[in-house]
Structure 1
Amino acid sequence: MKPTMIAAAMAALLVLAGCGRNDAPAAPAAAAPAQPATPHKLRFLLNSGFSGANAWFLVAQQRGYFRDEGIEVEFTDGRGAFTAAGRMLEEGFDAGYGDIQATYEQAAHKPGQAPVGVYMVMDVSPSVIILPLASPVKEPTQLAGRTITGHGTDVALNTFEQFASKVGLDPKSVTIVPNPGNWKTLIGLLDDHTSDALFGYSSTSTAAIATAGGKVEERLRFFRFRDAVPELYGSALMVSPKLLHEQPQVARGLVRAVNRGVMDTLCEPQAAIDMLVAHNPDESAKVELGRLMDTLDDMGGRERIARDGVGDIDPVRMQAGLDLTVAQRHLPRGPDLGEVFDRSLLPEQAERRPCM
């Protein structure tokens, strides 16, 4: 992301927030319950390490929002958003952050055991198919007969059937090549014409180009899943069924703390990135700020956030995405909506609107 684009995006966030660091504070959080003598310890699986795309978790931790709820969180770096739901179930995590479509799949295969979404962060799918700027492929149907490369656990790769069904492309007409390489390696496959396209997130590929000192608009273009498959959501805060049903007040406190972190990050993006870089000096403040701004679009954009806040879903739309995923991924059963997302823990809408 170019410096001018970052500056414009920061300005947009401040307009969204309706405040600056010295202006009106974020919407007050509901009063936290009295803290227990011994905090509730929760194991939390991230989608990756801390980055600009999930900085609110670090903000919530460092500003003591979990502590305010009587919670002590142990974060574990993830291995990709699509792996979070499965790892939560298999490794016994109490909470996690990852792609909600993976939760649909876990619920279809293991009823009553799968994680449940409780706070939707990404209102639209962040997935893209990445093409070289000079690619002759101008429409998604022209991917037929071509090769697309991506990590085997990539969200876009694992929701490609849903995308293909909407654009009129036979997914079997595309050769999909899993590749565990880093983003420098993957983009190199485009440069040397080894692959016609890549699966990924726009924010991840953009950050990779920016880290190398390049300009995205001179290198890449995208087919965005959000344009073709508006039924799909992105990543959500998830909790285990055990935590949700046996300790609902702890789960509610977790949601409240995360929401405070999200609100702070949207109101004070630079402060969040400063905190991130202080936590990990190897991170580039410029690159991570760009990643955060790109993620704002994945959250639905500033107009939707200002209107609706963050965290909730449209049940009709999510049901449509659930049905589509069940059909296109040939899942063994169609989970009920309540098995994959529970809206009951959400703070009031006013608390989920930045600086309102």
Structure 2
Amino acid sequence: MVVHALARAVTLGAVLLALVSAAPAGAQTAVRVLLDGRIDVLGAPFLLAQERGYFRAENLDVSLEPGTGSRDAVARLAAGDHHLGVGDINTLIRMRDENPAVDLKAVFMLQDAPPFAVIGRKSRGLSEDPSSLAGKVIGASSADGAAAQWPVYRALAKLEAAAARIESVGLAVREPMLASGELDAVFGSAVSTPVVLRSRGVPADDLVVLAMRDAGLQLYGDAVLATGAFARENPDALRAFLRALSRGMRDAVADPAAAVDAALRRNEQLRREVENERLLRAVQTVHVTPWVRENGWGGVDPARFARAIEQIGLAFGFRQKPQVADVFTGEFLPDPEDRRID
């Protein structure tokens, strides 16, 4: 497994990054951050924190680098390529089971609700009933978190193992192949994938979004992940980073137009109307949930997290089931009042 192999590469790269980032007193701390995909509006909290000087005010020199998927980000972080990153928490849970020596933890939950979904077309025989997936061809990218949850979703929705044929596709061609009729459905994000498909000419009334959480999926989504080396060498810098990020999140929610502008300045290929809708859907469905409104963003509900780990075990069978504390720590979170929704 590619993720398994990369996870065991936590050696020289992580040590070197820790040495580089351990800056003298008074100097800025360098922080390399790997995003989970291209620069777009879903990374707006990071972009705004950088543009508005929030990182700089915390004495941090932050570089934001595009990634190639939320699952791939976990493997690259585990290999020591970056200090921090945005990655799929569920991939980390499985990785820690396969290799308990992986020195990586989630430190800030970004997606309180999982965006994972199967998105299909009514014209290809899909309906809101998961059983309509029987016999269909579903495009799956190995870099995408939703595809990885298919065995869990299948168990929760009581679908047969051979209910559908899974076809491996690249992340970049996933939506185009569904739009052109080469696939019946794809694994993707309930936030982004329908918006992208409509921008490619698929009629809104032809789309079906089977959100996995509707079948009882308890999983979380993307989180900020930190290498153990960086957290140990720079605990104050990590706390400062999350304070600045929390300010960026507040700005993105309060001023969506500014968030979209920040993304467009960094990526001229983006379309304003598409990014506007993606941000709105993200805020409403995965970021600002009822739990987040009550408790603030960044943290987790330990009982729910434990249930999520149990659900992953339904499909994958842990060697030694990780505990919540093995995967997530709230040690570096900003004060609760700094994480509240205004």
TM-score when normalising by structure 2? 0.86
Aligned to 1:263: 250
Matched, 1:206 2:197: no
Cα deviations by residue, 1:46-94 (Å, 9 ceiling, x for unpaired) = 0012211121110011111111222111222110112111110114311
Q: Which amino acid aligns with 1:187?
A: L
Following superposition, the deviation at residue 325 of structure 1 comes to 1.2
1:330 to 307, 314, 317: 317
Q: 5+ residue gaps in structure 1?
A: 1-34
Return the alpha-carbon distance in structure 2 between the equivalents of residues 265 and 132 of structure 1: 32
2:136 to 146, 149, 159: 146
**Structure-to-structure mapping, 1:92-103, within 5 angstroms:** 92-103=81-92
Q: 5+ residue gaps in structure 2?
A: 1-23
SS class of match (2:42) = coil
- Are the structure 2 counterparts of residues 142 and 88 from structure 1 closer, same or farther at C-alpha, using a change threshold of 3 Å? same
Aligned to 1:27: none
Matched, 1:37 2:26: yes
Query: CA contact under 8 A between 1:46 and 1:97: conserved in structure 2?
Result: yes
SS class of match (2:39) = coil
Cα deviations by residue, 1:295-350 (Å, 9 ceiling, x for unpaired) = 11342546444323211111111111112213412343211211110012112222
**Structure-to-structure mapping, 1:155-174, within 5 angstroms:** 155-174=145-164
Query: CA contact under 8 A between 1:140 and 1:223: conserved in structure 2?
Result: yes
Aligned to 1:317: 304
Query: CA contact under 8 A between 1:56 and 1:264: conserved in structure 2?
Result: yes
Query: CA contact under 8 A between 2:106 and 2:328: conserved in structure 1?
Result: yes
- Are the structure 2 counterparts of residues 222 and 90 from structure 1 closer, same or farther at C-alpha, using a change threshold of 3 Å? same
Aligned to 2:46: 57
SS class of match (1:290) = helix
| Structure with the larger RCO, 1 or 2 (CA within 8 Å, 6+ apart) | 1
SS class of match (2:319) = coil
Return the alpha-carbon distance in structure 2 between the equivalents of residues 44 and 210 of structure 1: 31
Matched, 1:249 2:236: yes
- Are the structure 2 counterparts of residues 89 and 291 from structure 1 closer, same or farther at C-alpha, using a change threshold of 3 Å? same
Following superposition, the deviation at residue 223 of structure 1 comes to 0.6
Query: CA contact under 8 A between 2:119 and 2:210: conserved in structure 1?
Result: yes
Q: Which amino acid aligns with 1:63?
A: R
**Structure-to-structure mapping, 1:102-251, within 5 angstroms:** 102-138=91-127, 139-180=129-170, 181-188=172-179, 191-192=180-181, 194-212=182-200, 214=201, 217-251=204-238
Query: CA contact under 8 A between 2:130 and 2:210: conserved in structure 1?
Result: yes
Return the alpha-carbon distance in structure 2 between the equivalents of residues 112 and 65 of structure 1: 34
Return the alpha-carbon distance in structure 1 between the equivalents of residues 291 and 305 of structure 2: 17
Query: CA contact under 8 A between 1:326 and 1:333: conserved in structure 2?
Result: no
Following superposition, the deviation at residue 42 of structure 1 comes to 1.5
SS class of match (2:321) = coil
Return the alpha-carbon distance in structure 2 between the equivalents of residues 137 and 272 of structure 1: 35
The farther-off stretch of 36-45 and 157-166 is 36-45
Residue correspondences, number: 317
2:59 to 64, 70, 73: 70
Following superposition, the deviation at residue 144 of structure 1 comes to 3.0
The farther-off stretch of 56-65 and 91-100 is 91-100
Aligned to 2:293: 306
The farther-off stretch of 169-178 and 99-108 is 169-178
CA RMSD of aligned residues (A): 2.0
Return the alpha-carbon distance in structure 2 between the equivalents of residues 163 and 114 of structure 1: 28
Return the alpha-carbon distance in structure 1 between the equivalents of residues 232 and 40 of structure 2: 31
Identical pairs, percent: 25
Query: CA contact under 8 A between 1:85 and 1:98: conserved in structure 2?
Result: yes
Following superposition, the deviation at residue 210 of structure 1 comes to 4.1
Q: Which amino acid aligns with 1:240?
A: T
SS class of match (2:79) = helix
The farther-off stretch of 303-312 and 198-207 is 303-312
TM-score when normalising by structure 1? 0.83
